[in-house]
């Protein structure tokens, strides 16, 4: 149904009244309200969602009320915490904001954290760091915990401890019929499996509990080199990366020196161990890359390590890095290219792991824009990773065939009408 048809069927004021009458206790904003245009925005600057109302949830009861109201009125419902994962507009529907639900509880004895759906990684990193513990966070403190984790979650500790989704132990979920259920290995195990990589297709998570790890500090940073022998360094990186321990996570980039237009080769590294051993492991790669132009590695508390990321306009997950591909990448003069080493614990999860897709990949290749001239050498695998996927219509490509079949079965069981579809959607059939 079009936005115009929705608005003809029910007015913004009627939706707001229905929400408040159903027990929704948060603020509800309509077009024209001071906060409406602020709250409907996502992090993606070109995204322009036009919901009938923006509803700010403060509790799980509010989330339930929003689901039930949307179902009763036949309106689409979108969920947004930080806006980083927003890819489908909530035009003509209800945009439910969980931004204010930001609780963080850390159990240092059990090495667990429990968070609300609006919590960002910075809050968890700081709370856990007081006990020398670390979550499997991503590259930015500002990213929301729940969306990142449910989409898989690949961070700088992933080679050692796996994807963030693999560390989830319990989730509280509002289902498509407005029920509140707990998903764990013992309760609703099929839903628990699907949530850990299947994103927001099965319900709205109102709290998430996950493991923490004893990583009080890391030796990390970004180091820049001349780009003159980039092709040879990329090939060396491919061979060298196959020899390193899981404690060392790395990426190699073709980019620019910070604050300049000068083309450079950069190496990002994060080692969860002693600095001397990290430097020893990295020395052959640094020697191959040549004299250091800028940057450094330093030992810091885990929470102070800032690694950054590359916008994924192009993404592929690769098993190998053939010479002709690396030669072609080295010839690029403007684009930012990031090759990141996967493997380790990501490729070898426990037997109860969720459906994080394409774990077998050895590398991710990210380019910050489309490069048509590379088509002959890219040999695109068609595999994607949900956290990096800009096109929600390609969500199925983030999973292997067997997991996709099982995910659709769980979708049929918990959301047969595909109520939760304003996301990286997996249909029930």
CB 166 within 8 A of CB 380: no
Q: Which of 374, 296, 300 is nearest to 330 (CA)?
A: 374
Q: What is the mean pLDDT of residues 175-194?
A: 98
Residue 182 in this model has a pLDDT that exceeds 50:
yes
Q: Which of 174-188, 238-252, 386-400 has the lowest mean pLDDT?
A: 386-400
Report which listed range, 31-40, 108-117, 396-405, is most confident. 108-117
* Nearest CA-CA partner of 341 in 358, 319, 374, 369: 319
Q: What is the mean pLDDT of residues 311-328?
A: 93
pLDDT band at 378 (very low <50, low <70, confident <90, very high): confident
Q: What is the pLDDT of residue 200?
A: 93
Per-residue pLDDT of 244-284, as tens digits, reads 999 999 999 999 999 999 999 999 999 999 999 999 999 99
What whole-number distance in Å separates Cα of residue 219 and Cα of residue 251? Answer: 15
- At 6 the pLDDT is 46
To the nearest whole number, what is the mean pLDDT of the chain? 93
In which band, very low, low, confident or very high, does the pLDDT at 15 lie, cut at 50, 70 and 90?
very high
Q: What is the pLDDT of residue 1?
A: 43
d(C-alpha 231, C-alpha 325), whole Å? 10
**Element of type H or E holding 266:** strand 263-271
pLDDT band at 370 (very low <50, low <70, confident <90, very high): confident
Q: What is the pLDDT of residue 19?
A: 95
| All residues at 6 or more sequence positions from 59 whose CB lies less than 8 Å from its CB, including other chains | 25, 101
DSSP E strands, 81-216: 94-97, 104-107, 112-115, 168-174, 180-184, 204-211
Nearest alpha carbon to residue 62 among 111, 7, 143, 116: 116
**Three-point CA angle 219, 261, 154, nearest 5°:** 35
The predicted-structure confidence for 17-44, as pLDDT tens digits, reads as follows 999 999 999 999 999 998 999 999 888 7
- What pLDDT sits at residue 5? 47
Residue 50 has pLDDT above 60, yes or no: yes
Q: Does the pLDDT at position 379 exceed 80?
A: no
pLDDT of residue 108 exceeding 60: yes
Strand arrangement of the beta sheet that strand 180-184 belongs to: 104-107, 112-115, 204-211, 168-174, 180-184
Instruction: For residue 207, give Cα distances in angstroms to 110, 146, 227, 414.
Output: 18, 8, 46, 18
DSSP string, 289-320: H-SEEEEEEEEEEGGG--------SEEEEES-
> Residue 413: pLDDT above 90?
yes
With a cut of 50, say whether residue 2 has pLDDT above it. Answer: no
Alpha carbons 255 and 267: distance in angstroms, whole number = 10
pTM score of the predicted model = 0.93
Q: What pLDDT sits at residue 42?
A: 83
Q: Tell me the pLDDT tens digit for each residue of 352-363.
A: 899 998 999 999
Q: What does the alpha-carbon distance between residue 368 and residue 315 come to, in Å, rounded to a whole number?
A: 9
Q: Looking at residue 429, what is its pLDDT?
A: 84
Question: How confident is residue 382, by pLDDT bands cut at 50, 70 and 90?
Answer: confident
Q: Is 117 exposed, middle or buried (0-12, 13-18, 19+ CB in 10 A)?
A: buried
Tokens of 55: 């509803």
**Alpha carbons within 13 A on the beta-carbon side of 47:** 20
For 249, the 3-state DSSP assignment is strand
Whole-number Å distance between alpha carbons of 402 and 335: 36
Q: Report the range of poorest mean pLDDT among 51-65, 96-110, 246-260, 309-323.
A: 309-323
What is the C-alpha separation between 120 and 365, in angstroms, rounded? 26
Asked whether the predicted pLDDT for residue 8 surpasses 50, the reply is no
Rounded Cα–Cα distance for residues 142 and 153 (Å): 14
- What does the pLDDT read at residue 426? 94
SS3 sequence of 28-55: EECCCCCCHHHHCCCCCCCCCCCCCEEE
Q: What is the mean pLDDT of residues 190-205?
A: 97
pLDDT of residue 4: 44
User: CA 289, CA 327: separation in Å to the nearest integer?
Assistant: 15
pLDDT at 216 over 90: yes
């Amino acid at each position: 149904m079009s936005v115009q048809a929705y608005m003809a069927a029910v007015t913004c004021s009627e939706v707001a009244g229905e929400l408040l009458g159903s027990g929704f206790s948060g603020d509800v904003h309509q077009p024209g309200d001071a906060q409406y245009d602020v709250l409907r925005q996502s992090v993606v600057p070109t995204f322009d969602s036009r919901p009938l109302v923006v509803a700010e949830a403060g509790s799980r009861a509010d989330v339930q009320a929003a689901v039930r109201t949307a179902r009763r009125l036949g309106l689409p419902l979108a969920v947004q915490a930080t806006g980083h994962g927003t890819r489908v507009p909530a035009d003509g529907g209800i945009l439910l904001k969980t931004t204010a639900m930001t609780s963080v509880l850390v159990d240092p004895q059990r090495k667990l954290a429990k968070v609300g759906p609006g919590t960002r990684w910075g809050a968890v990193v700081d709370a856990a760091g007081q006990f020398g513990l670390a979550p499997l966070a991503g590259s930015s403190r500002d990213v929301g915990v729940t969306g990142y984790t449910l989409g898989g979650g690949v961070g700088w500790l992933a080679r050692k401890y796996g994807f963030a989704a693999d560390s989830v132990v319990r989730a509280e979920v509002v289902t498509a019929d407005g029920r509140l259920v707990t998903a764990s290995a013992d309760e609703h195990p099929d839903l628990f499996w699907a949530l850990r990589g299947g994103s927001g297709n099965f319900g709205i998570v109102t709290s998430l509990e996950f493991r923490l790890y004893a990583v009080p500090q890391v030796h990390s940073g970004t180091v820049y080199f001349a780009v003159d022998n980039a092709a040879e360094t990329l090939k060396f990186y491919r061979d060298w990366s196959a020899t390193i321990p899981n404690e060392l996570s790395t990426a190699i980039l073709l980019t620019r020196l910070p604050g300049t237009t000068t083309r450079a080769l950069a190496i990002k590294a994060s080692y969860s161990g002693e600095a001397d051993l990290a430097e020893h492991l990295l020395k052959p790669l640094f020697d191959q890359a040549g004299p250091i132009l800028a940057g450094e590695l330093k030992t810091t508390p885990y929470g102070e390590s800032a690694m950054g990321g590359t916008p994924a306009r192009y993404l592929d997950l690769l098993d190998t890095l053939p010479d002709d591909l690396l030669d072609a990448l080295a010839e690029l003069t403007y684009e930012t290219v990031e090759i990141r080493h996967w493997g380790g614990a990501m490729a070898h999860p426990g037997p109860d792991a969720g459906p994080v897709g394409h774990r077998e990949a050895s590398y991710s290749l990210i380019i910050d824009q489309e490069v048509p001239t590379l088509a002959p050498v890219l040999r695109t695998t068609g595999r994607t990773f949900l956290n990096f996927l800009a096109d929600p219509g390609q969500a199925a490509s983030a999973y292997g065939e067997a997991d996709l079949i099982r995910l659709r079965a769980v979708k049929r069981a918990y959301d047969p009408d595909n109520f939760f579809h304003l996301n990286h959607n997996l249909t029930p059939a």
